[in-house]
């Protein structure tokens, strides 16, 4: 049984982590370092189960991993504290940058400060792929699933298809292997799900009130909810749907402005779907930014909180555990594909290669993430 944190400890720990949460799903490695290594809130087995669950349900993977840690540690209150704490820094920073963009359209000047961070982000994701690969890929079957998943993600195969493929590979490759029913997670702290219906009722009431009195905010909230519910495989899979709805269907902004929002989403901490904050702010000001942020993340939170109890029951099935192993390997493939995708968008030169290599080496030797980030900003200002 892991240590039990306080609600305040969960919030502050994930808030501090959220300040440097660059790299999207790569931040799962940093969450693991805190929850399993430093704080010992969860066992390694339980955390692995959580990562696999976050892969199977739609939403921002790193945000859901934070909620999972809080849920296992302190119930729904802990899940909310971890989830909000982890996402709050990105929300605040994106609101500030969106305000600067709306008033001065000085995006190039703003992004230039973070241009070095784009290279740092590539190194962060690459290190996460290396870390999880080294931990989980112990033989050829896992390597095969991860590589095929990376190729499928890279060619735009829908994440549901990748997850199904990985699960079937797990069933086939491990059909003779018997897994312990509980897999020794040791993290079965009891917690109440009574707050969940209340949260769902409040959410439904908010939708009704927005529909009756603020129809434009209802449309924004409904759009972001729909986008998050289809975000299988993490935030990147939600961007095509968000782009189509915002640019083509609703014509809220042109494609170049939308791409500006994605650029800010990549150089701010937090998941890439924080672009929703940018869209909401440009469309309806501060209120729009807050509403878009809440409803791009709320389904992810409810999905994790609502599925963990059923997931616990499924873990007693040997068939499910075989499929689960394959799905877990596909997460390494996702990280590998994101590394390549990020890397292809960087105009590489000698300085950027040195910066990326130095960041990877720093993370390999357990240097705190804040120092490579500061170095990236310094190099950006002085040399790039």
Residues 6 or more apart whose Cβ sits within 8 Å of residue 297: 59, 60, 63, 83, 87, 228, 273
Are 221 and 280 spatial neighbours (Cβ–Cβ below 8 Å)?
no
**pLDDT recorded at residue 182:** 45
Q: What is the pLDDT along the chain (384 residues), one digit of tens a residue?
A: 568 899 999 999 999 999 877 766 678 888 999 999 888 999 888 898 888 888 777 788 889 999 999 999 999 999 999 999 999 999 999 999 899 888 866 556 555 665 677 788 788 888 888 988 888 888 899 999 999 999 998 887 877 788 889 999 999 998 877 655 444 445 556 667 778 899 999 999 999 999 999 999 999 999 999 888 877 656 666 776 788 889 888 999 988 788 788 877 767 777 878 999 999 999 999 999 999 999 999 999 998 998 887 877 777 788 888 887 888 888 888 888 878 887 887 888 898 899 999 999 998 998 877 788 788 878 877 776
Residues 6 or more apart whose Cβ sits within 8 Å of residue 274: 87, 90, 91, 94, 265, 268, 293, 296
Instruction: Tell me what percent of the chain is helix, strand and coil, each rounded to the nearest 5.
Output: 80, 0, 20
SS3 140: helix
Distance between CA 364 and CA 369 in Å, rounded?
11
SS3 188: coil
**pLDDT recorded at residue 184:** 44
What's the pTM value of the predicted model, to 2 decimals? 0.74
* Of 285, 358, 379, 384, the residue nearest 124 (C-alpha): 358
3-state secondary structure 237-303: HHHHHHHHHHHHHCCCCCHHHHHHHHHHHHHCCCCHHHHHHHHHHHHHHHHHHHHHHHHHHHHHHHH
Q: Where are the domains of the chain?
A: 196-300
**pLDDT recorded at residue 219:** 96
**pLDDT recorded at residue 106:** 58
**pLDDT recorded at residue 108:** 62
SS3 381: helix
Residue 143 DSSP class: H
Are 21 and 270 spatial neighbours (Cβ–Cβ below 8 Å)?
yes
* Of 228, 237, 220, the residue nearest 279 (C-alpha): 220
**pLDDT recorded at residue 183:** 45
Residues 6 or more apart whose Cβ sits within 8 Å of residue 341: 154, 236
CA distances from 313 to 128, 154, 163 (A): 30, 33, 20
Distance between CA 150 and CA 127 in Å, rounded?
16
**pLDDT recorded at residue 110:** 58
Tally of CA atoms within 13 A in the half-sphere of 175 that contains its CB: 5
Distance between CA 68 and CA 74 in Å, rounded?
10
Distance between CA 138 and CA 374 in Å, rounded?
35
How far does Cα 362 stand from its chain's mean position?
23
């Amino acid at each position: 049984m892991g240590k039990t944190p306080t609600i305040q400890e969960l919030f502050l720990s994930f808030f501090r982590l959220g300040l440097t949460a660059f790299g999207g799903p790569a931040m799962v490695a940093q969450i693991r370092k805190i929850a399993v290594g430093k704080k010992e809130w969860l066992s390694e087995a339980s955390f692995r189960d959580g990562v696999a669950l976050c892969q199977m349900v739609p939403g921002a993977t790193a945000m859901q991993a934070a909620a999972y840690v809080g849920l296992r540690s302190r119930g729904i209150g802990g899940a909310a504290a971890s989830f909000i704490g982890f996402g709050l820094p990105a929300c605040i920073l994106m609101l500030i940058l969106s305000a600067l963009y709306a008033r001065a359209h000085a995006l190039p000047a703003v992004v230039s400060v973070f241009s070095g961070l784009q290279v740092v982000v590539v190194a962060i994701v690459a290190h996460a792929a290396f870390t999880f690969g080294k931990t989980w890929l112990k033989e050829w079957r896992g390597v095969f699933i991860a590589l095929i998943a990376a190729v499928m993600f890279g060619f735009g195969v829908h994440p549901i298809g990748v997850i199904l493929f990985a699960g079937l590979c797990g069933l086939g490759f491990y059909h003779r292997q018997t897994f312990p029913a509980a897999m020794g997670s040791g993290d079965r702290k009891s917690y109440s799900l009574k707050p969940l219906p209340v949260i769902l009722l409040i959410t439904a009431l908010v939708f009704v009130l927005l529909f009756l009195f603020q129809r434009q905010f209802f449309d924004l909230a409904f759009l972001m909810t729909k986008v998050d519910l289809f975000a299988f495989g993490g935030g990147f899979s939600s961007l095509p749907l968000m782009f189509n709805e915002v640019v083509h269907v609703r014509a809220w902004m042109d494609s170049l402005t939308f791409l500006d929002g994605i650029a800010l989403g990549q150089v701010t901490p937090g998941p890439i779907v924080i672009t929703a904050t940018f869209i909401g702010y440009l469309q309806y000001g501060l209120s729009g930014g807050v509403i878009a942020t809440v409803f791009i993340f709320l389904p992810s939170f409810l999905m994790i909180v609502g599925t963990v109890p059923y997931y616990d029951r499924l873990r007693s099935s040997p068939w499910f555990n075989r499929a689960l192993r394959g799905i877990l390997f596909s997460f390494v493939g996702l990280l590998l594909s994101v590394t390549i995708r990020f890397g292809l968008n960087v105009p590489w030169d000698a300085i950027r290669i040195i910066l990326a290599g130095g960041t990877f080496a720093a993370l390999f030797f357990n240097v705190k993430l804040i120092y490579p980030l500061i170095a990236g900003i310094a190099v950006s200002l002085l040399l790039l």
